[in-house]
Amino acid sequence: MGGSSGSDALRDHRRAASEQKKDDVGQALLALSARGTAITISSVAREAGVSREFIHSHPHLHAAVQEAARKARDLWNRDQALATTASARAASADRLTLVSEIQRLRGRLKEQQRCIDELRAQRRRWLGAQFPDLGHVDPAVHAELRSANERLMSEKAGLTNTITDLRRTISALDYDLAAAREALTQELAERDRKRLTPVSLTDE
């Protein structure tokens, strides 16, 4: 009787220890999932303080690890897709901002050029009106024309400098836009590569 009781007690102890290990595996899966840590047979066994063989020897535990790993992989892929979409939207917004700024500056450039052309036309009209008789030039009119010409030339020089600055700014923005497009292309290609070749999350 004593030997039988001892065997029963040992079996009960082993059964209780096994159940505790199973609970520990379940808790390990919850902990790894909460931390976002890669779920593998090894990582679960290490977290639970059990051997890999223990998990392999219990089909329902092995299946639970595989299911948790699949969910983690799906979540990782979803996060990557969301990150790629968010990055693409942000880059698209940046490109739209750059394009809008370039268009605005080009509009200013055209307006400044139109002002220069108008000043040139005014100068020609002024000179034509003030010199109907090329054989006689009034000194007072000549002095007034000289002053007007100097004013127009000063305005033209200022507009020309503005146009030069605008062109330089547009050139820099065009360069930034091209660099942003190249960086986005490389980032999306890298994200696609990682998404299409996910790291294995289970080790059999």
The pLDDT of residue 7 is 75
CB of 50 closer than 8 Å to CB of 24: yes
- Which of 65, 3, 72 lies closest to 34 in space, CA to CA? 72
Domain of residue 15: give its range: 2-57
User: At a CB cut-off of 8 Å and minimum separation 6, what does 61 contact?
Assistant: 22, 25, 54, 55
Residues 102, 191: one domain? yes
According to the model, what pLDDT value does residue 38 have?
83
Number of domains in the chain: 2
Q: Consecutive sets of 10 residues in the chain, 204 residues long: mean pLDDT of each?
A: 66 87 91 85 92 92 90 80 69 71 78 78 66 52 64 74 77 74 73 56 48
Q: Supply the pLDDT for residue 45.
A: 93
pLDDT of residue 65: 92
Instruction: Return the biggest CA–CA distance within the chain.
Output: 147
Q: Answer yes or no: are the C-beta atoms of 29 and 39 closer than 8 Å.
A: yes
Statement to judge: residues 53 and 117 lie in one domain: no
pTM as predicted: 0.41
Residue 48 lies in a domain: yes
